[in-house]
Structure 1
Amino acid sequence: MLHVGVVGVGMMGQHHVRVYSKLAREGKVELVGIADANFERAKELAKKFNTVPYSDYRELAKAGLDAVSIAVPTSLHKKITLEFIEKGIHVLVEKPIADNIENAQAIIEAAEREGITLMVGHIERFNPAVLKLKELISQGELGKLVTISAKRVGPMAARIRDVGIIIDLAVHDIDIISHLFDEPVRTVYARAKNVVHPAGVEDHALITLGFEDGSGIVETNWLTPHKTRTLTVVGTGGIAYLDYIEQRLRLYNSEWIKEAKILRREPLRNELEHFIECIEKGKRPIVDGEAGIHALRVALLAQESARTGQVLEVGG
């Protein structure tokens, strides 16, 4: 049985603690402890989920961990992730993998050098509706893909302080669109501005992604009063409409309309179970470091494109 922990118990980290606690009750892992600089918050959660709180993640790293989820601010990803990797502890680091390409590459190289499982928390890959959509695309239900359009909008996120909306939210759909096309993004063009956030922290963006024979569009903002998370996929043989939140998928072609049968399940549970399985069986995660760095590279280029007004080649 794997001994697991969580570093950073803010909004996302709390969910990691909750799901690991469920898996612990089912005898699948042991939740050894959680760490946060806000020790009062760590103590409160530890009491609720029957684990041990730490104010210093370094002390948690000494507690006999096999694996850890890291859900701290993006600017701290490299420092904390490397410390766990160097101790031989498998890591799931929340998206984006790091704050810049150099730091992301350092994380990937360290994991490879130490033989550590490194997974990046692109949770939408594990949404049951996305899993079903990928299956249907692979079966040719939509023919050849032409365009994929994502809308990820909602209210202002007070919790986000260190990155803009492209790095925080658009990176989800950059990853998913590339995954569905089954190829890396080739070009990026973006428009982005800040309306209510400080200068340099964009709160709305429209991003165009170029592929060999298709295009992706990501619309995202922190200005819409209600949360929307949708995806539209157009192919030569039909069109699909996906709702991330409702885990709903409908397909249309010239002759019929049908709705996919989807067993609703929490994406984070799917993600953490996959992480555990990869460690136990020596498998490579479906969202590995290379997938994480590609999504980050495209997001950073989108920010640059928004500043310069240019279409940029992705490379890498």
Structure 2
Amino acid sequence: MIRVGVIGVGAMGQHHVRIYNEMEGVELVSISDVDQKRVEELADQYGVKAFTDYNKLLEEDLDAVSIVVPTTLHKKVTLDAINSNTNVLVEKPIADTLENADIMIEAAEKAGLTLMIGHIERFNPATSKMKEIIESGLLGKIVSISTRRVGPYNPRIRDVGIILDLGVHDIDAISYMYASNVSEVYAIAGKDIHSQEDHASIMLRFGDDRAGLASTNWLTPHKVRQMEVIGVHGVGYLDYIDQTVTIHDAKWVRNAKVEKGEPLEKELEHFIDCIRTGKKPIVSGVEGKHALNVALAAIESYKTNKIVNIK
């Protein structure tokens, strides 16, 4: 039985709690949040212990913990978890700075513990299907991948702008589809309703003249989560919300068979499996750091109006 806890039970953290509670071979032991009323109500609902001090949760001899707290707190909470010999899944982005990401990665490696980053779109069944199609060669050489991740503003997001909150999803997703890291980034962005950027167009360069374009904003009144993959033999369209993949080529329009499922459930199952087997997670600290590196470079790019090379 894998003993788990959740630190941070806001909108996203509550889903971690729900899914762990339903998983076979997993015991949800305790949850923590600075909001005492919220954490106690949720603990009563699931019959687990509640703490407002997460360090008390880490004294519960847990095997694993989900960290779902503001980005600026990721390093501190992760290090405290690692110091208590607990495997960690921390929500994206991995950290607020590259230096903090390095510290987290090094600490987990030194302790021999799993550090997984919650880039949830990696676990969307439509993502898996599109990746499979690309690797099959059906679309030929892929030359361009573009994404749209837009929707209304969520007032709970205050500590980061849209590039770190939403754009980082697609930076990671496009890199994953290419199986390659970004070499250059150029971004145009601005802020109209938020203290930081609330709309952005992020151009990504990969090797072999391959391009990526991530368009994102908090200004669109309806939610859109889509990807377009252009190859020399065809085009693929992915809808993350509907979990559909459609392929267009010179002769056919075909809908791929996608076994639909909840991405977060698949993500947490993978995390638990990594703990049981010792295998490396699909999104390790290294992949999480790359997405953060590119996102921070995109912010630098729009502020300086310059192309930024990714080191």
Same fold (TM over 0.5): yes
* Farther-moved stretch of structure 1 (47-56 vs 295-304): 47-56
Letter in 2 for 1:162: D
Aligned match of 2:275? 279
Quick one: which of 164, 185, 188 aligns to 1:188?
Answer: 185
Identity value in percent: 55
Task: Report deviation, 1:50.
Answer: 2.1
Quick one: which of 95, 112, 117 aligns to 2:114?
Answer: 117
Provide the rounded CA distance (Å) in 2 between the counterparts of 1:87 and 1:155.
Answer: 39
Provide the rounded CA distance (Å) in 2 between the counterparts of 1:154 and 1:114.
Answer: 40
Quick one: which of 165, 172, 175 aligns to 2:172?
Answer: 175
- Give CA deviations for 1:138-165 in whole Å, capped at 9, x if unaligned: 1111111010000000001101010000
| TM-score when normalising by structure 1 | 0.97
Alignment partner of 1:290 is 2:290: no
Aligned match of 1:231? 227
SS in 1 for 2:152: coil
Task: Report deviation, 1:227.
Answer: 0.4
Aligned match of 2:57? 60
Alignment partner of 1:76 is 2:73: yes
Provide the rounded CA distance (Å) in 1 between the counterparts of 2:290 and 2:151.
Answer: 25
State the number of aligned residues: 310
Quick one: which of 225, 247, 255 aligns to 1:251?
Answer: 247
| TM-score when normalising by structure 2 | 0.99
SS in 2 for 1:226: strand
Aligned match of 1:5? 5
Aligned match of 1:34? 31
Provide the rounded CA distance (Å) in 1 between the counterparts of 2:179 and 2:130.
Answer: 13
Aligned match of 1:99? 96
Letter in 1 for 2:97: N
- Give CA deviations for 1:258-277 in whole Å, capped at 9, x if unaligned: 10111110000000000000
Quick one: which of 147, 153, 160 aligns to 2:144?
Answer: 147
Output aligned runs, 1:18-33, within 5 Å: 18-23=18-23, 27-33=24-30
- Give CA deviations for 1:69-109 in whole Å, capped at 9, x if unaligned: 00000000000000001111000000000000000000000
Provide the rounded CA distance (Å) in 1 between the counterparts of 2:44 and 2:249.
Answer: 53
Aligned match of 1:130? 127
Unmatched 5+ residue regions in structure 2?
none
Task: Report deviation, 1:285.
Answer: 0.2
Aligned match of 1:260? 256
SS in 2 for 1:84: helix
Provide the rounded CA distance (Å) in 2 between the counterparts of 1:168 and 1:86.
Answer: 27
Quick one: which of 44, 67, 79 aligns to 2:41?
Answer: 44
Task: Report deviation, 1:64.
Answer: 1.4
Task: Report deviation, 1:28.
Answer: 1.9
Task: Report deviation, 1:22.
Answer: 1.1
Letter in 2 for 1:278: C
RMSD: 0.6
- Give CA deviations for 1:138-194 in whole Å, capped at 9, x if unaligned: 111111101000000000110101000000000000000000001000000001100
